[in-house]
Chain A
Amino acid sequence: MIITCPYCGPRDLSEFAYQGDGNRKRPDQASTSQKAWNAYVYDRLNPAGEHNEIWQHAGGCRRHLAVTRNTLTHAISKVGFAGAGATRKPAPRRKPRQKS
């Protein structure tokens, strides 16, 4: 599998670490809702098909990425930086390797 890191470009799966279900929303730091915390810590979606996942480019820029991946085909339809504030876009990296 190859994930195209928005910063580093296409890289091998071996450079990435799976960091879990990307649909989880962490409760506010001050939240005292046990239910919300339980859901955050233990509930995971596990769809057969499109899934929002968090991957860290641990063997590259080390940024966490929001990846939309089909769990049946491994096809990746979207990759961006994880985190609401991470909207900055780096300038495109070189010319794309693959012609099409």
Chain B
Amino acid sequence: MSPRRTASGGLIDRSRSIRFSFDGDFYTGHPGDTLASALLAQGVTLFGRSFKYHRPRGVLTAGVDEPNALVTVLRGDAREPNIPATMLEIYDGLTVVSQNRFPSLAFDVGAVNQLGGKILGAGFYYKTFMGPVFGPLKGTRFWMFCEHFIRRAAGLGRAGKVADPSRYERMNAFCDVLVVGSGPAGLMAAKQAASSGARVVLADLEPRLGGSANWSGESIDGTAAAEWAAATVAELKARPNVRLLPRTTVWGYYDDNTLSALERVTDHKRTARKGEPRQRHWTIRAGRVVLATGAFERPMVFPGNDRPGVMLAASAARYATEFGVLPGGKIAVFANNDGAYRSALALREAGTSIVAIVDVRAEVSTAARELATKAKAEILAGQAVVATEGGKTLSGIKVQTFDAATGVVRGDARSIDVDFLAVSGGWSPIIHLASQAGARAVWDEKAQAFMLPPATERWTGAGACAGEFSTGEALAGGAAAGSWAAGGASATDPVPEAGGAVLDIAPAPVFEIPAGGKAFVDFQHDVTADDVRLAHREGFISVEHLKRYTTLGMATDQGKTSNIPGLAIMANALGKQIPEVGTTRFRPPFAPVSVGSLAAERYGDIRPERLTPMHDWHVDNGATMYSAGLWHRPMIYARPGETVDQAYVREARTTREKAGIVDVSTLGKIAVQGPDAGDFLDRVYTNMFSTLPVGKARYGLMLREDGFAMDDGTTWRLAEDDFLMTTTTANAGKVMQHLEYLLDVVWPELRVHLTSVTDQWAGAAIGGPRAREILAACVTGTAVDNETLPFMGIVHGEIAGAPVVICRLSFSGEMAFEVYSGAGHGTHVWQALMKAGKPFGLVPYGLEALGTMRIEKGHVTGAEIDGRTTARDLHLDWILSKKKPFVGSMMMDREGMTSSDRLQLVGIIALDNRPLNGGAHIVERLDRETPRDSIGHITAACYSPVLRKHIALALVRGGKSRHGDRAYVSDPLRDRFGAVEIVSHHFYDPEGKRLHG
């Protein structure tokens, strides 16, 4: 029997037991328990050690606001730290360890830090470790020495080191009404909106929908509130237009009513079903949003307020009522408001005894007194708790007379023997989401809280979140909000009546009992009231600075229990009112979000990859694949025992001597169609295309509007109104967007359509002295001789029964042909070409050999068209038409773009016969120690099989006039220095005899 479990009652399933472990010891609980409730039921009060002082800590709350009871969950090799025990549902086999203790939770050597409390105050690290070294124990270097020890001793849980094996998913949802929070207000809002036919999503971060109805002990509509909630949830669940999302934290509110939510799908299960994600990241686009997020109870700040056994009053009542757990036997309540009296009664009714209700107010309302009488509790009005006693659990409290008006304690302290203290410092509406949506909170003097501003067109509040603190108000507010959110349909159902005492929960404006000793404001970051005052004395008067200097509210709980008390103490120190000091703006996420859920499907082996039609052939035939952007392309087809260098040299040499074939399907291909297509191409290319005959191709260069080179490629005229433009692989998207912009925005009158047909075509470039013979052997339906298919000519034919378009053009410098077929026929055609080429020694070649041959020819690619080079820099002056304007034509001749000392394309030959590297600098004077005076850089380098030299292309200042000059390569990073000769970029066959055959 669990020592603190009630005999009956609560919403747990007592018929089943769940076994789990905490710090190696095994415990049992029931379905419906959280780790906190299950351990409390077993009499466990010590849950962890605090961040800085290693003080023993218990459970302060029953929900997402928990600052103390953070634990680490172990699943196989994976560990997830900093999970609030209050949010962790138990399951069979759950394995949990406590945090920030060494060697054990009960005996922790770090607790010695408590003795140094005065030293470890606000700004300790800044003061000790920042800045210049003055003495042996100061400054940044001292930090570097101490960091290892401090990091080990301080902090929260330890992160795991193995890759997270969990699956995460994302989900998009659209709805008319999103209701956040499923308490009485949220349920009413959802019900009202749903009954008018709206599509409704109802999300709640707890596993059990119903919110306060599950533990208030009140009645709604003549039945127990929890039963009313269960019935309402069942009714909503049955409606096709409602989606219920329990265990779902709405954590971000973004523009245009787009909200982010995290659903914990299998965190409460021992194992996930096949394909079931651990967590689901929801993006919800809502017409309107009802915020029914409730309110957080605030702790009081008094010495020893962090001792295990001190808990928020409503949380204590919730454990008793919803979980059947008595958090203590002999209980005292410490309050500044009437709401705590209801909690006291709930605790009493569950079977505890309430020794005393310590109330800072001298006057207590009649309604509260009646509750106290029912709870058989003595009211100690005008008094305050000034200390707690005990070690790792509470054994008593000290009480003194307190003047709420002046905030001064006086008289003698009196000890009261209790094992549990329930504290209530008033309520703060949970306005985080509205704040994220841009709302400025409004301070309410009576409620002593920041409240929601008036609703907007997009959202409204309901329930405690909107200041409707009684259940009756919340039900009515929820119904009205639901009706509004669904478009203002009139109410269909009458609002149910709520039973139970209606209390004025307005608290006395008392946040702190100044009585000496450590009084915690931020429990999770160990920030005390004195720290806040110290920060003030040191000149931090802005709340934003205060927050950063003391780290108040900056832990994983983001100050859910500490923001308002901290602000109040700061205001007091400044002699200002709370609203004058202001509040910090809430930002997403409302509660911690796993990075895995944000990455979701963009993880591991499922990044999108683009495969060419011949991909499988390449892989099956020994290609080493290389990812170029999203594309996967063959780098080399290595034979057994070959190195990369050996493979590409062989491939390039064989192509120059016999024939080679390369997959060029990745080239960007754009169908440019319409009566004005020729005119359009004249405007976007630097050279003429309207004059290109049908059945011919032409090399073209595009400039950007600012006159710099943008992209190059060939464009084929397939019919009068039908051009096939090719772009470089890397620039395909950019060029498409550029052209679409011009047609949509600049020249909408042109009748031209653009369509991406990159994927429609498979492309194989076959080149070398035997290439034509190979084609002749397999192409049917057309001749491929020089007359039928001259340089830049296009023919249509078939290869092995598949239609092909063949264009004679060359990137390698050899006589070469690009064979295009339908992508679905790509492998078929490629195989036919390979078969036909076998007698001629045809080899497939990859990107390395392709790069080598283009460097030998001095052809430019993206490495040279880098956004900083002009057509002239790249020796492409010949292609700049003077007969017509084109994009960039007016800007390309500006001063500075035509000067002779620009970086210009040259060739480089290594005189020491060692490899060159892209990115290396070219210098005139070699200085290994202090490399200087770069005159340019290498853009691409290779070993040239035809020259038998290490060569490179480079952009060198005034390069056109440096041919024949001696220079040096200076590459300190790779320790590569040596003499080079600057030459023309045309290393090989400058007259182009080979490609004309």
Contact = CB atoms under 8 A, between A and B. Distances in A.
A26 B288 CA distance: 41
A94 to B, nearest CB: 13
Interface string B434-478: 000000000000000000000000000000000000000000000
A74 B255 contact: yes
Contacts of A58: 737
B706 interface: yes
A64 B747 CA distance: 12
Interface in B477-511: 486-487
Is the interface on chain A under 10, 10 to 19, 20 to 34, or 35 or more residues? 35 or more
A72 to B, nearest CB: 11
B483 to A, nearest CB: 12
Interface stretch (B738-746, B761-769, B944-952): B738-746
Contact of B255 (A2, A37, A64, A86): A2
A64 B740 contact: yes
Contacts of A17: 737
A27 B176 CA distance: 46
Contact of B176 (A10, A85, A99): A99
Interface string B892-911: 00100000000000000000
A40 B744 CA distance: 17
A17 B254 CA distance: 19
A43 B56 CA distance: 63
Contacts of B285: 2, 10, 12
A40 B748 CA distance: 18
Nearest to A17: B737
Given A31-B890, A86-B748, A1 B705 contact: no
A31 to B, nearest CB: 7
A86 B744 CA distance: 8
Given A2-B285, A40-B705, A83-B745, A100 B487 contact: yes
Contacts of B256: 1-2, 74
A99 B745 contact: no
A80 B880 CA distance: 36
B287 interface: yes
Interface in B938-970: none
A4 to B, nearest CB: 10
Contact of B744 (A27, A31, A63): A63
A94 B136 CA distance: 75
Contacts of B737: 17, 19, 56, 58
Contact of A82 (B176, B486, B745, B749): B745
Interface in A42-58: 42, 54, 56, 58
Contacts of B740: 56, 62, 64
A36 B355 CA distance: 86
A21 B101 CA distance: 57
Contacts of B683: 29
A53 to B, nearest CB: 12
Contacts of B176: 97-99
Contacts, number: 73
Contact of A37 (B741, B744, B890): B890
Most chain A CB within a 10 A radius of its CB, from B705, B741, B744, B746? B744
B198 to A, nearest CB: 7
B258 interface: yes
Contact of B749 (A12, A85, A97): A85
B125 interface: no
Interface string B868-906: 000000000000000001000011001000000000000
A54 B740 CA distance: 12
Nearest to B705: A41
A30 interface: yes
A32 B894 CA distance: 12
Contact of A29 (B254, B288, B745, B885): B885
Contacts of A99: 176, 198, 287, 486-487
B26 interface: no
| Chain A at the B interface: SS class | loop
Nearest to A64: B744
A31 B683 CA distance: 13
B126 interface: no
A98 B749 CA distance: 36
B597 to A, nearest CB: 17
Interface residues of B, number: 27
Contacts of A12: 258, 285
A84 interface: yes
Interface string B160-183: 000000000000001010000000
Nearest to B746: A26
Interface string A58-100: 1000111000000000100000011111100000000001111
Given A2-B255, A74-B255, A83-B748, A41 B891 contact: yes
A66 to B, nearest CB: 8
Interface in B709-754: 737, 740-741, 744-746, 748-749
B741 A56 contact: yes
Interface in B252-304: 254-256, 258, 285, 287-288
A61 to B, nearest CB: 11
Given A2-B256, A30-B885, A97 B746 contact: no
Contacts of A34: 890, 894
A64 B745 CA distance: 7
A57 to B, nearest CB: 10
A63 B741 CA distance: 8
Contacts of A97: 174, 176, 287
A97 B705 CA distance: 40
Nearest to B197: A99
B604 to A, nearest CB: 21
Contacts of B885: 29-30
Contacts of A1: 254-256, 258
A40 B741 CA distance: 14
Given A41-B706, A98-B176, A83 B744 contact: yes
A26 B748 CA distance: 13
A25 to B, nearest CB: 10
B709 to A, nearest CB: 15
B679 to A, nearest CB: 10
Nearest to A22: B745
A85 to B, nearest CB: 3
A34 B174 CA distance: 50
Nearest to A4: B256
Nearest to B198: A99
Contacts of B705: 40-41
A98 B706 CA distance: 44
B745 A54 contact: yes
B744 A82 contact: yes
A97 to B, nearest CB: 7
Given A2-B256, A17-B737, A29-B885, A81 B744 contact: yes
A17 B737 CA distance: 10
A62 B739 CA distance: 12
Contacts of A2: 255-256, 258, 285
Nearest to A3: B256
Interface in B675-719: 683, 705-706
Given A26-B746, A31-B890, A99-B486, 13 more contacts: A1-B255, A1-B258, A19-B741, A38-B891, A64-B740, A64-B741, A74-B256, A84-B749, A85-B748, A97-B176, A98-B176, A98-B288, A99-B176
15 contacts: A1-B258, A19-B741, A29-B683, A34-B894, A62-B740, A64-B744, A74-B256, A82-B745, A83-B744, A83-B745, A84-B749, A99-B486, A99-B487, A100-B287, A100-B487
Q: What 10 pairs across the A-B complex have the smallest Cβ distances?
A: A85-B748, A83-B748, A64-B744, A98-B287, A99-B487, A2-B256, A1-B255, A37-B890, A82-B745, A74-B255
Interface of B: 174, 176, 198, 254-256, 258, 285, 287-288, 486-487, 683, 705-706, 737, 740-741, 744-746, 748-749, 885, 890-891, 894
Interface of A: 1-2, 10, 12, 17, 19, 26-27, 29-32, 34, 37-38, 40-42, 54, 56, 58, 62-64, 74, 81-86, 97-100
